[in-house]
Structure formats: structure tokens, C-alpha cells
Amino acid sequence: MNSIVISDNQGYLIIDNNFKLVNLSPNVKKYAESPETLAIGQDIRSNFPELIGLEDTLISLGPSSEESFILNGIAREQSSGSNSYFNLTIKKNGNNLILFLEDVTELMLLRQSLNQKINESEITLNELKRFEYCTNKIVDSMGDILLITDSSGVINRANEAIKNILGYSSSEVLNRHITEIIDDPKFDYARVFKSLESLKFKEKSCQKLEFSCTNKENSKDKKAIEFNCFLAPTEVKEIFKCVYIGRDITVRKQAEAEIRQALEKEKELKELKSIFISMASHEFRNPLSSILVCADVLIETKDNLHLEETQFYLTSIKEAALNMEYLLEDVLILSKTEAKQQKLNFSYFDLKEFCQQLIKKLKLSHQDRVINLIVPEDSLEVNADEKLLGHIITNLLSNALKYSASDKPVNLEVTRQENIVVLEVQDQGIGVPPEAQKHLFESFYRANNVGNIPGTGLGLAIVKRAIDLHQGNISLTSQPGIGTTIRVELPIITN
């Protein structure tokens, strides 16, 4: 008989067709009902009653190594009073049967613990849903304005009271900067947020501030709003949102003004320009949640997953991690360029081969897309910062893929004009509205036609800075609904 290879948490029994014990591994007795009675020549059904009734099935097993009979999660009560668990796999070996026993106590206890935590989480979630429902009802019934912004001043939530007071619907102000609503020149949202941060751990953490706001439906209608402002914690540690609860005190302020008019002439209010800071609300879908979900699936069902399913979850984890890497890299480059700390590391390389490698890498995450590379037949040696040039080309191609339909090709054409390389990226996507084109290379700016397409508004800002560092130029031609062509000129050809 060939030697039987087993791991530390496994044991085996060899029995004949009468279920008499022929041989056993040293550590197998712990799986028996009565370990002291387990001996060669004994009928093992007294110690493994799970086999009773399965005799015909087990004897009829074929000799194929792939044919087996499996019993999972068999429990044994230990002397300590706790249960141990094992899986039993039975295979044919000549005229005998081999029973492989694998200790899965730790896994079973982990699953039990996980199920308990899931049940507890569901109870907590239901409580939170009920609390959220009550909170939403209270917020919607408030007569005061409620605005909640992130630390940058972008509005994340508003209630219906803003319609009655300022003429905006609650959905209309979402993702707009708060200075577009509170257009008082005295209002500095950054200063307010910083001031509230200094109070967040103190007993009196709320500030009362008064500002004027323009009614959307009547630009001459200035509303005096008294705001109670405070910071609210989020699910992320040390990240806070700013809550503005505003009460219309226009009538009261008018009465005060009338009293002041008896003492002095009313000063004319200056006509103010609205401050429009276009900062796109960017949904950063935390790739960590994707990684955790995939990891949980792999851990919980690893014994039941096919190779293709395992590969799918591993690929999902890799893609989520790459998305995090790309975002962090973008932020790092942007911060360095804005702080004028980004230095060019020039090197010589073949631009044609370089572009081919970039496209090959992009195809890993866009396998169903067509990216056409149009380059001169001969090699094209350039002297440039390879990392920044890679960001330029990758960002332009990624945008072209992102904002065009999956059945539309994207073209990258590389040409030479004396010592200048010309890169043209062309797509047949949604295009850029004329009014947005002049702002397109500003940090965090996104055109108003992108809809729900995710993005940070950093890509083209980084591209512009990288091109400026190379003393190059970038231009754009675009028509909404037809497509966009971006042209980049870089003086990087070597003589």
C-alpha cells in the first residue's frame, strides 16, 4: 500500500468492506465517540455512527481518485464540555476504504461567531434605520434651513425649508458650494470651519452667525439668516462635517433697521458678485469595501469556489487596490506641483514602445475597449520625465475611455514636427460644453454634463501641470455629443 500523506490537522482510517478497522493514523482517536474502544479489527461504526445507513453507498464507490463521499461539520463533544468538529472524506483504495478526517473546529467556531456578529449587525442596522427614519421626518418638518457640508464647503444635504425661505429645492443645492447659497461677503466658510474645529471638544461647541442670502427667485430679495453652526463627526475618524441650521430673521432685522434709520441714514448695500467656486463633488467609492467583501467571500467559501470564481475575486481586489494607488499618486503629484516641489527626472527612451506598454496596461482594466495607436514606423527617441509623461498619456486615454461608450474606439496619434512631439487623443464621447472648456484644467473642476460618471477632477489638472513642467502646450476641441480631441505638444525629441 502506498504511503498516505496528510497534514497536521488530518487523520485517516483504513477499513475493509465489513467496516472492520485495518489501519489508522496516531491522531485519529480524538475523532471517535469512544476513543478507548477504537482498535484494529473492530467495527468502526460504533465509534463513527454517521456511517450507519451509508454502507451500500460507500462500498459502491468507484476506484477513481476523484470519486469520494464527504460528510462535513461532524460534531464531537469533548471532555471539557465543548464541541470539536471535523470533515470526513471517504475514498476507495483497492478492496478497502480510506476515511480521511480533517479537524475544522476553528473554522466552524469562526463561522458561528461570524453568524452571531451578522445577526447583531442586522439588529443594529435596523435600529439605525428606524433612527434615520425618525431623524429624516424631523429634518423635513423643520421650519429652519438645514445645510450640511463637507470640510471643503460642498453641500451634502439640505432640507425642504430652504425652498420656502430662499427658493431653492433641496436637491438643487446638493453638490454646490455653500458660498453660492450664503453669498454674504462676510461669510468665509474656511474661517468658520477652522473656528468650529477649535471648539469641537469644548462644552460650547456651537457658534451663532448672521449672514445675508439672496433669494433665487428674486435677486433683490436679501434674506437675513441666523445660523447655528457646529461640527458633526463622520464614520471616518478626525473627519467632520459642518452643520448650518439657519433661521430667517429678516423681519426682525428689518425692524432693527427701521429703528436705526431713525438715528441715521440707511447705508446703501453694495451689489455683490456671487462667488462661484466650481468644486465637483466626487464620490470616492472606498475600494476598501470592495477588498473586504472579496476577502470575506474567499475566506468563507474557499472550499466551494471554482478556480474561475477565485480568480474573479482576486482580480477585483487587485483592481480596487490599483484604484487607490492611482488616486494617491494623483494627489501626490498635484500637491508637489502646486508646492513647486516637483522636479523633472529626464531620461532617454523610445516613445513608440512606451505608448504600446501604457496601452497594454490600460487594456487590463478595459479589456473590451479598442485603443488605436497611430505612430511612425521608426522608433522615436525622446528625452522626458518618463513618470510624468506616463501620467499625461494615461490620464488622457483614461478620460477618453471613461466618457465614451464601450463600443466606441479611442485613438492615440503620435507625430513629429521638428523637435516637437505631438500627441492627439481622440474619442467619440459625450464632449465638453463650451462654457466648461476654459475651466477644464482647474483642480477639482468637472463639466456639468458628466452625470453619474465617477471622477475626481484632478486628472486634467495634473496633465496641465506636467505639460507646463516640460514647457509644452495643450489644447482642446470638443463638441457635446460628438467627441473630444486633445492635442499636446512637447519639445522632447532628441537630436
pLDDT of amino acid 477? 92
Confidence of residue 313 (pLDDT cuts 50, 70, 90): low
The answer to whether residue 274 scores a pLDDT higher than 60 is: no
The answer to whether residue 278 scores a pLDDT higher than 60 is: no
As a whole number, the mean pLDDT across the chain is 81
Instruction: List the 10-15 sheet strands across, edge first.
Output: 21-24, 10-15, 96-103, 83-93, 69-77
- CB contact at 8 A, 298 and 313: yes
The answer to whether residue 474 scores a pLDDT higher than 80 is: yes
Kindly state the cell numbers that stand for 140: 423635513
Confidence of residue 290 (pLDDT cuts 50, 70, 90): low
Confidence of residue 276 (pLDDT cuts 50, 70, 90): very low
Among candidates 27, 33, 73, which has minimal Cα distance to 52?
33
pLDDT of amino acid 187? 87
Pair type for strands 371-374 and 410-417: parallel
The answer to whether residue 327 scores a pLDDT higher than 70 is: no
The answer to whether residue 337 scores a pLDDT higher than 60 is: no
- CB contact at 8 A, 388 and 469: yes
User: Higher pLDDT residue, 401 or 333?
Assistant: 401
The answer to whether residue 264 scores a pLDDT higher than 80 is: no
What pLDDT digit, counting tens, does each position of 451-467 carry?
Answer: 877 777 777 888 888 88
Confidence of residue 268 (pLDDT cuts 50, 70, 90): very low
Handedness of CA 425, 428, 434, 439 (dihedral sign): negative
User: Higher pLDDT residue, 418 or 408?
Assistant: 408
What pLDDT digit, counting tens, does each position of 120-130 carry?
Answer: 999 888 888 88
Per-residue pLDDT averaged across 134-142, rounded? Answer: 75
Domains contained in the chain, CATH given: 10-103 (3.30.450.20), 142-261 (3.30.450.20), 346-490 (3.30.565.10)
Q: Which of 220-224, 272-276, 308-312 has the highest mean pLDDT?
A: 220-224
Per-residue pLDDT averaged across 248-272, rounded? Answer: 66
pLDDT of amino acid 272? 25
CB-based burial label for 45 (10 Å; 0-12, 13-18, 19+): middle
- Which pTM does this prediction carry? 0.39
Q: How many CB atoms lie within 10 A of CB 369?
A: 18
Give residue for cell 446638493: 174
The answer to whether residue 49 scores a pLDDT higher than 50 is: yes
Question: Among 18-32, 97-111, 261-275, where is mean pLDDT lowest?
Answer: 261-275
Share of the chain above pLDDT 70, in %: 83
pLDDT of amino acid 284? 42
Rounded Cα distance between 412 and 410, Å, is 7
Per-residue pLDDT averaged across 55-84, rounded? Answer: 84
The answer to whether residue 271 scores a pLDDT higher than 70 is: no
In what helix (H) or strand (E) does residue 107 lie, and over which residues does it extend? helix 105-141
Kindly state the cell numbers that stand for 114: 461570524
Per-residue pLDDT averaged across 409-421, rounded? Answer: 89
Confidence of residue 426 (pLDDT cuts 50, 70, 90): very high
The answer to whether residue 425 scores a pLDDT higher than 90 is: yes
Torsion, CA 258, CA 261, CA 265, CA 270, rounded to 10 = -30
The answer to whether residue 201 scores a pLDDT higher than 70 is: no
Q: Which of 199-208, 212-221, 313-322, 390-399 has the highest mean pLDDT?
A: 390-399
pLDDT of amino acid 326? 58
What pLDDT digit, counting tens, does each position of 358-378 carry?
Answer: 998 888 878 888 999 999 888
Share of the chain above pLDDT 90, in %: 19
Instruction: Give every CB contact of residue 228 below 8 A, 6+ residues apart in sequence.
Output: 206, 207, 208, 244, 245, 246
pLDDT of amino acid 269? 27
User: Higher pLDDT residue, 71 or 266?
Assistant: 71
pLDDT of amino acid 151? 83
What pLDDT digit, counting tens, does each position of 374-402 carry?
Answer: 998 888 888 888 888 988 998 899 889 88
Per-residue pLDDT averaged across 72-84, rounded? Answer: 84
pLDDT of amino acid 166? 85
pLDDT of amino acid 280? 33
The answer to whether residue 98 scores a pLDDT higher than 70 is: yes
The answer to whether residue 22 scores a pLDDT higher than 60 is: yes
The answer to whether residue 283 scores a pLDDT higher than 60 is: no
DSSP 268: P
User: Higher pLDDT residue, 255 or 486?
Assistant: 486
Instruction: Give every CB contact of residue 473 below 8 A, 6+ residues apart in sequence.
Output: 467, 488, 489
The answer to whether residue 287 scores a pLDDT higher than 80 is: no
The answer to whether residue 159 scores a pLDDT higher than 60 is: yes
